[in-house]
Amino acid sequence: MYIEKAKVESIEKINEQTFLLKLFSPSIASSAKPGQFCNVKVSERTDPLLRRPFSICNVEGESIYFLFDIHGEGTKLLSHKKFEDEIEILGPLGKGFVYDGSYETAVIVAGGLGTAPFPFLINRLSKDKKVAAFVGARSKNLVLQHGLKNISVATDDGSVGFHGTVVDLLKKEISSIAKNKFRIFGCGPNPMMKALQKYAMENNFDCQISVEAAMACGFGICQGCPIEASDGESYLLVCKDGPVFDAKKVKI
Amino acid sequence: MSIDLSVNIGALKLKNPVLLASGTVGYGNEIAQFTDLSKLGGIVTKSLSLKPRKGNPPQRIVETPSGMLNAIGLANVGVEVFIKEKIPFLKELNTTLICNIAASTIEEYVECVNILKGEETIKAFEINVSCPNVKEGGLEFGNDINAVGRITEKVRAATNKPIIIKLSPNVSRISDFAKTVKQNGGDAVSAINTLVGTSFDINTRRPKIKNVTGGLSGPAIKPIALAKVLEIKRNVDIPIIGIGGIMNWKDAVEFMIVGASAIQLGTVNFINPNAGVEILQGLEEYCRKNSIEKLSSLTGSYQI
Ligand SMILES: Cc1cc2nc3c(=O)[nH]c(=O)nc-3n(C[C@H](O)[C@H](O)[C@H](O)COP(=O)(O)OP(=O)(O)OC[C@H]3O[C@@H](n4cnc5c(N)ncnc54)[C@H](O)[C@@H]3O)c2cc1C
Ligand SMILES: Cc1cc2nc3c(=O)[nH]c(=O)nc-3n(C[C@H](O)[C@H](O)[C@H](O)COP(=O)(O)O)c2cc1C
Ligand code: FES
């Protein structure tokens, strides 16, 4: 884990509200694993006060990428960063995806900005693994395909691809993949992860989900980001024990 | 010029006045990856209770202008696990360890102290009186001056180690509470704990944190914390540990001027886990520039 002052190498707008940020961050680049995140300082002032968590979207040499949406003040400030600006980032944080194993196809299920961690995962998968990516968005202009491959799209309004949720699309298409062994990797808003978890558990699929929680520190000292363990007896910390969990281990 | 950074909190001697606050450093292990804790005056553990506590359901925190609200619900491992699993690491840190205790009855405070007092690594106890109790009708002990007096008295009787009572700011006259602590044998007070606050979503009309209310911390509370420290300093002769919204060395100096003998850093650790070391460097630099030989001479040096 490092605190690194990273210089902006590029910032690119990839649709009407989504940005791809490339930073020079050698220490984090060399130690990050797919599914991990960084806690990013978006301002030098006290408002906004807390860092903002973002998945590591990809690693390329000594650079890392974040893919983000303008949501509120913090992400707006981040979108105003320019070439050569310095951004202080803390990471890599949390536990990422477990992606080794004997499965043949990595089934990616992503909603909205939930596609963010997958370019990195796809890069690190061993070459013999196939990828099937299912991507959901509210409508056509918000579909994110950056860094993915073999993509099937679902939109809430049906403006492109399957009309419905990405989990419903997965249910419809899974038979074409089920012939070989697969592992599901999910990331998206918590209600979507809940639907994916339910489907995976009912069918006893091998499934890992990346969940979101409000965070202050991002590395385990504030206890601000709990998620209930499936036994109901204790809380796990999304920042430290996650954000990626085996779907069987947590209650969303 | 060599500057003497050491301070005394009653019988407790610290190599410098920079402490990390309860609930904002866990048990030291995670933050140690980002900062050299041995350089600091000390760290205060997350509040420990007799039995482990699971804590509140999410959402536990929300950001507010220059601050945050938290309702963690005192999630902690409990004293037994603390001794078995956390003390061995803390022992190696080479920093002063202050153990913070939270309880829902007076007897539970005493029992925790009795279990922990034999641990040589623990140099002092900080008693968190700001948690709701069951016995006294669900109120905070921190609002009840008689309860604070009795807790101080009983804990004092249980140990010779220095006792710091962490005061709640959610009272009308905090100096009366500090007076009670002194009268009942407490060594020092720390001020302040968080202020009760809340935040609602205007679309759903629901509270943003599950517990409805939470404790406000961060730079937003600094002026209140400073006023509370000053009030105690002007009315009671007892060492004060100043806490509330400290982000940098200037804030730390300000707290010392109004009366703090030492300071604790809370929320800033989440944003800059190396803040303690940086603040210490800033304090040393300030002393050098102003020809201050003993940092402790700043305490209560206000000109009003
Ligand atoms: C592990 C993790 C990985 C993430 N990865 C990405 C990513 O790759 N790309 C991306 O665009 N977004 C990602 N998010 C969500 C991102 O952190 C929020 O969009 C961002 O914090 C919003 O900040 P803001 O100031 O713009 O919004 P505001 O709504 O003004 O923020 C107010 C407060 O709420 C918190 N908050 C708001 N939304 C979220 C959220 N969804 N999750 C957690 N905290 C939130 C903020 O951190 C801030 O403290 C991730 C969240 C987590 C927990
Ligand atoms: C997330 C969080 C958890 C806290 N937990 C405790 C605790 O367990 N016991 C305690 O005495 N104070 C606790 N506090 C209060 C801090 O120790 C401190 O008094 C307060 O946050 C004000 O300081 P700050 O503005 O520098 O954060 C907590 C504060 C925060 C933000
Ligand atoms: S965000 Fe602080 S413990 Fe997870």
Sequence-distant (≥ 6) Cβ neighbours of residue A51 within 8 angstroms: A39, A40, A41, A42, A90, A215, A218, B270, B271
How does pLDDT run across B74-115, given as a tens digit for each residue?
Answer: 999 999 999 999 999 999 999 999 999 999 899 999 999 999
Vertex B138, ends B134 and B140: CA angle to 5°?
105
Cβ–Cβ < 8 Å for B240, B229: yes
Q: The domain that contains A48 carries what CATH number?
A: 2.40.30.10
Q: How many domains does chain A have?
A: 2
Residue A99 lies in a domain: no
Q: Show the tokens assigned to B7.
A: 């301070």
Residue A98 lies in a domain: no
Do residue A79 and residue A155 come from a single domain?
A: no
Indicate which residue's Cα is closest to atom 10 of ligand 1: A68
- Give whole-number Cα distances, A8 to A78, A147, A189, B107, B139, in Å: 11, 20, 28, 57, 51
Residue A69 lies in a domain: yes
pLDDT for A178 beyond 80 = no
Q: Considering CB atoms only, which of B54, B61, B66 is closest to A46?
A: B66
Handedness of CA B99, B93, B250, B234 (dihedral sign): positive
Q: What is the C-alpha to C-alpha distance for residues A117 and A58, in angstroms, rounded to an integer?
A: 7
Composition of chain A by helix, strand, coil, percent to 5: 20, 35, 45
User: Which residues on B lie below 8 Å from A233 (Cβ)?
Assistant: 54
pLDDT of residue A100: 93
Nearest ligand to the C-alpha atom of residue A94? 1
User: Which residues on A lie below 8 Å from B26 (Cβ)?
Assistant: 220-221, 223
Q: What is the C-alpha to C-alpha distance for residues A228 and A245, in angstroms, rounded to an integer?
A: 11
Q: What mean pLDDT do residues B201-220 have? A: 96
Residue ending a domain, among A93, A120, A138, is A93
Residue A100 lies in a domain: no
Indicate which residue's Cα is closest to atom 50 of ligand 1: A54
Rounded to the nearest angstrom, the distance between the alpha carbon of B230 and the centre of ligand 2 is: 20
- Give whole-number Cα distances, B79 to A225, B55, B219, in Å: 23, 15, 31
Nearest-Cα residue of chain A relative to residue B75? A223
Tracing tokens 């804590």 back to the chain, one arrives at: B55
The whole domain housing A148 covers 105-251
Residue ending a domain, among A73, A93, A113, is A93
Cα–Cα nearest to B75, from B49, B94, B98, B44: B49
Mean pLDDT score across all residues of chain A: 96
Q: What mean pLDDT do residues A179-195 have? A: 92
Do residue A29 and residue A152 come from a single domain?
A: no
Q: At what angle do helices B249-257 and B275-289 cross, to 10 degrees?
A: 60
How does pLDDT run across B10-66, given as a tens digit for each residue?
Answer: 999 999 999 999 999 999 999 999 999 999 999 999 999 999 999 999 999 999 999
pLDDT for B209 beyond 60 = yes
Beta strand pairing status for A86-93 and A2-13? Answer: antiparallel
Domain annotation for chain B: domains and CATH numbers: 7-56+74-196+218-298 (3.20.20.70)
Q: What is the C-alpha to C-alpha distance for residues A180 and B218, in angstroms, rounded to an integer?
A: 53
Do residue A85 and residue A112 come from a single domain?
A: no
pLDDT of residue B132: 62
pLDDT of residue B156: 97
Residue of A23, A52, A68, A217 with the most ligand 1 atoms within 8 Å of its CB, for mutation: A52
Q: What is the C-alpha to C-alpha distance for residues B116 and B285, in angstroms, rounded to an integer?
A: 38
Amino acid at residue number A109: V
Q: Which residues of B are catalytic?
A: 131
Rounded to the nearest angstrom, the distance between the alpha carbon of B24 and the centre of ligand 3 is: 10
- Which residue of A217, A219, A239, A250 is the best one to mutate when testing the B interface, meaning the one whose CB has the most B CBs within 10 A? A217
ipTM: 0.95
Residue of A90, A215, A236 with the most ligand 3 atoms within 8 Å of its CB, for mutation: A215
* Mean pLDDT lowest among A36-40, B129-133, B222-226: B129-133
Q: The domain that contains A166 carries what CATH number?
A: 3.40.50.80
Pocket of ligand 3 (CB under 6 A): A 215-218, 220-225, 237, 239
Q: Is this model's pTM higher than 0.90 or not?
A: yes
User: Which residues on B lie below 8 Å from A213 (Cβ)?
Assistant: 58-59
Do residue A24 and residue A134 come from a single domain?
A: no
Do the chains contact at A3 and B273, CB–CB below 8 Å? yes
Residue B45 DSSP class: P
Residue A151 lies in a domain: yes
DSSP letters for B120-152:
TTEEEEEEE--SB-TTTTS-BGGG-HHHHHHHH
Do residue A128 and residue A191 come from a single domain?
A: yes
pLDDT of residue A71: 94
* Mean pLDDT lowest among A124-133, A166-175, A203-212, B130-139: B130-139
Tracing tokens 């993949």 back to the chain, one arrives at: A177
Do residue A114 and residue A163 come from a single domain?
A: yes
Residue A124 lies in a domain: yes
Q: What mean pLDDT do residues A217-229 have? A: 97
* Mean pLDDT lowest among A175-189, B7-21, B63-77: A175-189
Vertex B193, ends B26 and B73: CA angle to 5°?
55
Amino acid at residue number A25: S
Nearest-Cα residue of chain B relative to residue A50? B271
> A199 versus A178: which is more confidently predicted?
A199
Nearest-Cα residue of chain B relative to residue A45? B66
- A177 pLDDT tier (thresholds 50, 70, 90): confident
Do residue A116 and residue A203 come from a single domain?
A: yes
Do residue A63 and residue A122 come from a single domain?
A: no
Do residue A179 and residue A225 come from a single domain?
A: yes
- State CA B268 to chain mean position distance: 13
- Which residue of B22, B30, B44 is the best one to mutate when testing the A interface, meaning the one whose CB has the most A CBs within 10 A? B30
Cα–Cα nearest to B228, from B177, B156, B297, B180: B177
DSSP letters for B183-239:
HTT--EEEE--PEEEE-B-TTT--BSSTTSEEEEESGGGHHHHHHHHHHHHHH--S-
pLDDT of residue B2: 87
What would you report as the CA-atom Rg of chain B, rounded to the nearest whole angstrom?
18
How does pLDDT run across B243-289, given as a tens digit for each residue?
Answer: 999 999 999 999 999 999 999 999 999 999 999 999 999 999 999 99
Q: Considering CB atoms only, which of B24, B33, B54 is closest to A235?
A: B54
Q: Show the tokens assigned to B176.
A: 């009366």
pLDDT of residue B137: 55
Do residue A140 and residue A34 come from a single domain?
A: no
CB pairs < 8 Å spanning A and B: 96
DSSP letters for A112-131:
GGGGTTHHHHHHHS-TT-EE
Do residue A188 and residue A144 come from a single domain?
A: yes
| Omega within 30 of 0 (cis) for the link into B88 | no
pLDDT of residue B142: 85
Do residue A155 and residue A76 come from a single domain?
A: no
Q: Considering CB atoms only, which of A47, A217, A234 is closest to B270?
A: A217
How does pLDDT run across B111-155, given as a tens digit for each residue?
Answer: 999 999 999 999 999 999 976 655 555 567 888 999 999 999 999
Which residues lie across from A246 on neighbouring strands? A208
pLDDT of residue A32: 98
Residue A169 lies in a domain: yes
**Alpha helix locations (H) across chain A?**
26-31, 73-79, 118-124, 166-177, 190-202
- The dihedrals phi and psi of B114, each to the nearest 5 degrees, come to -60, -40
Is the Cβ atom of B166 under 6 angstroms away from ligand 2? yes
Indicate which residue's Cα is closest to atom 47 of ligand 1: A52
Half-sphere exposure of B15 (CA within 13 A, CB side): 13
- A157 pLDDT tier (thresholds 50, 70, 90): very high
Nearest-Cα residue of chain B relative to residue A46? B66
Residue ending a domain, among A43, A71, A93, is A93
B35 interface with A at CB cutoff 8 Å: no
- Which residue of B209, B270, B277 is the best one to mutate when testing the A interface, meaning the one whose CB has the most A CBs within 10 A? B270
pLDDT of residue A200: 96
- Give whole-number Cα distances, B248 to A61, A105, B257, B282, in Å: 35, 51, 15, 8
Residue A9 lies in a domain: yes
Do the chains contact at B25 and A224, CB–CB below 8 Å? no
Half-sphere exposure of B249 (CA within 13 A, CB side): 13
